Structure 1
């Protein structure tokens, strides 16, 4: 009996099929090459000018790192404060959820008017973009922490710092990780979109510049770099989730498998 295909093998099979279809579609005339460049042409375009793409990638990475600091730092802090206060939860969470539903791209022109088209506007815009999912996830995670754990910690004389770091943070970790994932993806998207709208450097700027000149392979190479950035960040957060899984307190009847 043939053993079933594992998830890793299936993933590579699907990826290979996508690449084959992508390569075949322009070559067979199904899609004009000016709209869809082949993977081979895309890679050749990137390898033909690695310095330009490397400089743009480094510039974008710097902006993403700064924006993540804002989104994770401010969003996490606000989430803990709001999540631990019943009054603030009732007063602010509906407002935050409503603001989160607004398409944030509409505020970028305001950002450029205040901060110009340099890195500052990209960092603040993307940080603001990722701030809300982090806040909402952390607040929800803290709110759902088992009250028995909190009561036990208070009975043992835990300080506010110990309560936050040794009880609330580990217990809310699954929700926090989810917020980091969503916030990280939106922050990356925010930086690239902002660079595409108004910038003088970065991967988004290169994508827009090459698109206006109909350099389709270069456009797709820039898109691949953006996908690489987002995938690398998601992989890093996944590893963090696995490393910190043992910090989470066990609930009644739950067993840990190390």
Structure 2
């Protein structure tokens, strides 16, 4: 039986209820406006200071892009190398898992001491913040690749680069996408948190600046921009996942829908 409400309709319905309650709570006195600004006041504040937020958004987006190059590039490469080597898996995966469990924000003061409070410290901090889930997910995915696929590729004379790009990566795609989602979210969070701690520009800096001046609508507009950035990145990863799914080798009995 077909459900009465589809998932997309339900999603928008839940979002609408949240927005209505959000608007009503400060207006009805349930929450002080200085703590929770209404959506209407938040959007008005964003429109009035659109130029300021736009400049800060571009600054933060540039930092996120550079940090993603670190987390995805280094993390993906390290994950493939570690996942393909039993020796490296046994030696490095426990170490990486232990480091990943440490609250990474504690090293940001060290980064600022080395690189200053400019963009470099934010990029490297956020890049390594997202590095660990990417390398762990990719290594786990490569480790679980069907050995028969590897044997067939070797028998066909595949080189190491062909083995990585045409066998290991496509077969490990689900785990890789999971790591990209988590790593992308942590990278975005890392940039914004770093900007909130020590910066002179960016969305995180604006959130902290407006918070100290009790400009609640501007704070919430900055938070909305961060949510939009994270949502856009997740949507992009989902699009890449659907496009890359055609590369994934079929499992026994599986039919690929075109």
TM-score of the aligned structures, taking structure 2 as reference length: 0.99
TM-score of the aligned structures, taking structure 1 as reference length: 0.99
Aligned-pair distance for 1:94? Answer: 0.3
Aligned-pair distance for 1:3? Answer: 6.0
Offset from partner CA, 1:14-69 (integer Å, 9 cap, x none): 00000000000000000000000000000000000110000000000000000000
> Counterpart in 1 of 2:240?
240
SS of match in other structure, 1:176: helix
Mapping of residues 214-253 of structure 1, within 5 Å: 214-253=214-253
Separation (CA, whole Å) in 2 of partners of 1:222 and 1:250: 44
Separation (CA, whole Å) in 2 of partners of 1:155 and 1:3: 49
Separation (CA, whole Å) in 2 of partners of 1:126 and 1:116: 15
Q: Structure 1: give runs of 5+ residues left out of the alignment.
A: none
Count residues with an aligned counterpart: 258
Aligned-pair distance for 1:2? Answer: 9.7
SS of match in other structure, 1:133: helix
Offset from partner CA, 1:202-254 (integer Å, 9 cap, x none): 00000000000000000000000000000000000001111111110011122
Aligned-pair distance for 1:165? Answer: 1.0
Mapping of residues 171-186 of structure 1, within 5 Å: 171-186=171-186
> Counterpart in 1 of 2:91?
91
> Counterpart in 2 of 1:212?
212
Describe the shift of the 1:185–1:2 C-alpha distance in structure 2 as closer, same or farther (beyond 3 A): closer
Kindly report the root-mean-square deviation, in angstroms, between the aligned alpha carbons of the 2 structures. 1.1
Separation (CA, whole Å) in 1 of partners of 2:252 and 2:23: 53
Mapping of residues 116-155 of structure 1, within 5 Å: 116-155=116-155
Separation (CA, whole Å) in 2 of partners of 1:78 and 1:242: 24
Q: Structure 2: give runs of 5+ residues left out of the alignment.
A: none
Offset from partner CA, 1:122-174 (integer Å, 9 cap, x none): 00000010000000000001000000000001001111111111111110111
Separation (CA, whole Å) in 2 of partners of 1:132 and 1:2: 41
The runs of 4+ residues in structure 1 deviating greater than 3 Å are none
